[in-house]
Structure 1
C-alpha cells in the first residue's frame, strides 16, 4: 500500500485542498470580526456547499468511504456550541469540515499556506499565545458568539483540551460552558479493526499516523449527535459542574469511564526535564488540589522566592493545619486538609513547609528541574557553608518527584567526590552538567526509561484543535487522597 495506494491518496488529498483554496480565499475576504450577514447570500451558500463537497471527497479518497452520522445536528438557535469528545486525532477535523462550524485555534494557524485560508473561512476563534489576556478574550468571544441568537456559525469545541487514546474522558475544561447556554454533545468513534487513527503523546507521530491511515484500504468513523443539553441555574453559575455533567452523559454514550486527570496534569507528567515524574507520583494530586483551592500555578510562580524565604525562616520547624491555612491565606477546608495530608508523613498533624514550596515549584515550572533544586538548596542549606547532607538531598528529590522512597546514596556519593559528607548547589549543577541523565543511572537504574502515564512528544503539538484556551477548572474532583509516604 505504501508503494501504490498511499502516494495516490496523498496527491489526491493535496489536489483537493488546492481546489478548495480559491473558493475559501474569496469567501474569507473582509473582516473576520464582522458579524456574518443573515440570511447568507446565495453565492456564500453555493461556496459552502462546494467546500463541503470538496472536503468530503478528500476524506473519501483518504479511505473514509462512509461516515456514519447518528442523531440530528441542532440548529445554531438551539445550541450555539457543539462539544466533541473524545479528541484523539487530527482526523477529528472530519466533523468540522462536514458542518463548517467555527473552532478555536492558535493564531499562528492562519499564516499556514493554503490551510490557513481554509481555516479563516470557517471564522474560527483565534488564540494568541503571545497575548497574556488571550484566554480571557477567547472566552469572552465564545460567550459573545454563543449569545448572538444564531447569527454566528456554531462553535465546535473539544473540551478535553488535548488528544487522548479514547479509553476514557479526561476532565473537561470549562471554556465551552462559561456562557451558560445550551450545548449539543457530540461523540466520535473510530471502529476500525486496526487503530491507525489515535494520535497522542505516546505512540506514532503525526506523519506516521497519516501514512498508516492512508495505507488502510477502508477507515470508519461514527459521529453521534446527542440531545441538546440545557443547563440548570446551578450549572450556569458553576461552569465546572456543567462541564462535569455533560462529560458524564458523553461517557455513558461512549461506554467509557471518566478520570480526574486534566490537560494541566498531562503537561506536568510529560514535562521535559532531568527528573521525570513516575506513574505513582502524588504531584498530580497535589496540582489538582492547588487548583481546587483557587490557586493558579502560573500566577504563583513569581511568588516562589517569597514562599521559599518564609519556609526558610522556619528552619525545618513543622507547622500544623491552622498555620498552613494562614500561610496560604485560605480557609480550612476538605481540599486544604487533603493537601496537608500529602506532606504529613507520620500522621502527626505536622508538615514541613519547605516540602510544599518544592512541590509547588515543580507544578509551576515542571521543565525547570535545576531551578527547583536551587530553590530547595536555599531552604535546606546551612548558613555556614551553603551545603546540604544526604538526608536533605533525599527529602528534596523525593518531594520533587512526589514519591515515598528514592535511593539517593549512590547519587550523593558521586556528587561528593571529596567525601565531605556535604554538597553545595554548585557541586550538584556541575555533576548534572557532566551527567545529564543522572536520574536514570542513579535514582532508578533498573528502568531504561522513566515511565510515566504517557510519553513526552518529540515536538510541539501541530494540531490546532488541541489548543489550551480556557481558564482552569476549579473543581477538585473526587480523587482519593494518599499521604506522600504511605
Structure 2
C-alpha cells in the first residue's frame, strides 16, 4: 500500500509540524473523518489567530502613532511652543502629498506631529541617529542615500508608488524647497513632490514672534541659543490650504505644477518668490570656504543652468577660478584692474572691451553670476580650433608652427602693451614643457583652461578689423571730398573759359 501525503497550509508552529509528520507516517489515520474534521477546525483556528495577529499589529501601529504624537506634542509644549492650527487636513486619498513651506529650522518637525505622523523623505543616515532615528523609522520614511547613484530615481519612484496607492499608504510630507531659508521668500520648489501628478495639499508655517528665536545658522549658534532663552513662549501657526489639483498640462510638466503651488503658497504668506535653489545654498557654502562673501554664490543656479546647460560641478570650478581673481577684493566683485592683474596683462582697449562684455549691468565690476555667464557665453564658444589657429598664426610670424619668446613678446607689446616682466611669466605658463617655444598643442591647452585669453584675442582682432573699416571709411570720405573739390575746380575753370 502506497503512502499517502496530505497537503496542509504551512503554519508557523513547530508543534503542529511535528503532529503532521506523525500523521503522515500513519496513513490510515488520515482517512478518519474525525481527524479530517479536527484538521479543518485547527485550520480555522490558525487563520483566526493570524487575522487577530494582523489586527493587533494594525492596532499597535495605530496606538504607536497616537502615543508618539502625544509625546511629540508634550515635548514641544515643554520647550515653550504653542501651536495654532487653521484649515483642515484632508485624507491621503484626497491629497497623497503634503507640501510644507517655508522651511527654516529643525523645529519645523512639529508639523509632522500635528499632521498625524505622515511619512517623510529622509536621509538614510538619519536612521542611525540615537532616539531620533527610531522615531524616523516608525514614520515609514522614503529614504535617500547620497552614496547610491540611483537614489534620486528610486526616491521619485517610491514617492510615485505611495502617491498613487489610493490611500493605502500614509500621506507623504515633503519640504519642496529642499533646504532652510530665512522665510522672507519662497525659493524654487524641487519637482519630486509634483512628478506623480496627484493632488497636493499646501501647508503653511509661521513663527509670528517679534524676535526670531528658531532660525539659526552654523555661524550664529550662540546667538540662536541666547535668542531662544529670550522668549519663553514661541507661537507656531500652521495652516492647511485647500488641495491643489493639477491640470492636464501640469501633470505633464512637474515644474509648472511646482510653480503653481509655490505661487499659491507665496500669495497666502504674503512673500515674494525667487529663482534661487538648494544648489545656490551649496554655492554659498563653497564661496565661504573660498573666503568670498557667501552671497557671491547666489547666482540663481537653476535658472541659468537651464538656459546655459550648466552642471553644478562646472559652476563650482568656475567659482574657484573667480575666487582666484577676487582674493584681494573684500566685496566679492572684480574691477578691471583686478581682472587685468589676474590675466597678467595691462589695461588696454581690447581688455576694456572684454571687461565690458562681462559687466552686464555696467556698474564697472564683475560679480560671480556675470563671470559665469560671460565665460559660458562669450569665452568658451571662442575656443574653437579655427579661432585658436588664427590666434596662433598671429604670433607665429615666420610660420614655423611654433612661437618663440621674441614673437610672443612682439605681438603682446604692440597689441596689448604687455611689459617684458609680465610677458615672461605668461610665456612660461603657456610653455608647459619648458622647451623655450610654444607649440599649437600647448597654446590650445592653455586657451582651453583659460578661456578669457581666447576671447581677448578675438576681441583684439575684432577691434583691429573695426579700426581698419573705420580707416577705410575715413579714406573713402576724404577721397570723395577731394574728388568733389577737384570737380568743382574744373567746373570753375570751364566757366572762366566760357566767360
TM-score (norm 1): 0.54
Higher relative contact order (CA 8 A, sep 6+): 1
Separation of aligned partners in 1, 2:267 and 2:89: 19
Q: Give the alignment partner of residue 93 of structure 1, picking from 86, 104, 109.
A: 109
Q: How does 1:415-434 map to 2 (within 5 A)?
A: 422-423=425-426
Unaligned ranges ≥5, structure 1: 1-36, 303-316, 318-337, 358-381, 393-411, 427-486
Could you report, residue by residue, the CA deviation over 1:399-435 in whole angstroms, capped at 9, with x for unpaired residues?
xxxxxxxxxxxxx99xx9x766525669xxxxxxxxx
Which structure: larger Rg?
A: 2
- Structure 1 residue 147: Cα displacement: 0.6
Q: Give a deviation string over 1:103-123, Cα, whole Å, max 9, x none.
A: 111111101111110110011
Alignment of 1:9-408 (within 5 A): 41-64=58-81, 66-98=82-114, 99-200=116-217, 204-205=220-221, 209=224, 212-213=227-228, 216-271=231-286, 272-274=288-290, 276=292, 279=295, 284-285=299-300, 288-292=303-307, 296-298=311-313, 342-343=373-374, 351-353=378-380
Aligned to 1:351, the other structure's residue is in SS state helix
> For residues 68 and 246 of structure 1, what CA distance do their matches in structure 2 show?
23
Change over 3 Å in CA distance of 1:238–1:122 after alignment to 2: same
Contact 1:340 1:351 in 2 (8 A): no
Contact kept, 8 Å, 1:84 with 1:156, in 2: the verdict is yes
Is the Cα contact below 8 Å between 1:90 and 1:199 reproduced in 2? no
The Cα of 1:45 is off from its aligned counterpart by 1.8
CA separation of 1:38 and 1:183: change in aligned 2, threshold 3 A:
farther
> Cα gap change, 1:40/1:420 in structure 2, threshold over 3 Å: closer, same or farther?
same
Shift, 1:96, TM fit: 0.8
- Paired residues of 1:86 and 1:187 also in contact (CA < 8 A): yes
**Structure 2 unmatched ranges of 5 or more:** 1-53, 318-349, 351-368, 385-401, 413-417, 431-499
CA distance 1:280–1:47, shift in 2 (3 Å): closer
Q: CA deviation at 1:128?
A: 0.5
Cα distance in structure 2, aligned partners of 1:60 and 1:162: 25
Residue aligning to 1:29: none
**1:383 Cα deviation (Å)?**
7.3
| Higher fraction of helix | 2
The Cα shift of 1:97 comes to 2.0
Once the two structures are superposed, residues 114-165 of structure 1 have per-residue CA deviations (whole angstroms, 9 ceiling, x without a partner) of 1110110011111111101111111111111111111111111111111000
Q: Is the contact between residue 184 and residue 225 of structure 1 (CA under 8 Å) also seen in structure 2?
A: yes
Rounded to whole Å, the distance in 2 between the matches of 1:103 and 1:244 is 21
Count matched residues. 299
- 1:211-235 deviation line (CA, Å, top 9, x unaligned): 6425521110000000000000100
Change (3 A) 1:38 1:148: farther
Residues 163 and 200, structure 1, Cα contact 8 Å, conserved in 2: no
d(CA) in 2 for partners of 1:356, 1:183: 47
Quickly say closer, same or farther: Cα 1:113–1:299, change in 2 above 3 A: same
Partner SS, residue 243 of structure 1: helix
Q: What is the rounded CA distance, in whole Å, between the counterparts of 2:170 and 2:70 in structure 1?
A: 18
Structure-2 separation of matches of 1:256 and 1:133 = 35
- Alignment CA distance shift 1:103-1:425 (3 Å): farther
Tell me the alpha carbon deviations over residues 155-192 of structure 1, each in whole angstroms, 9 at most, x when there is no partner. 11111111000010001111100010000000000001
Q: Distance in 2 between matches of 1:82 and 1:181?
A: 11
Tell me the alpha carbon deviations over residues 36-77 of structure 1, each in whole angstroms, 9 at most, x when there is no partner: x8997222222211111111011000001x200000011001
CA RMSD of aligned residues (A): 4.0
**In 1, Cα distance between the equivalents of 2:199 and 2:238?**
19
Residues 1:341 and 1:298: Cα distance change in structure 2 (over 3 Å)? closer
Q: Does the CA contact (< 8 Å) of 1:270 and 1:276 recur in 2?
A: no
Q: How far 1:351 moved relative to its partner?
A: 2.9
Q: Which residue of 1 aligns with 2:330?
A: none
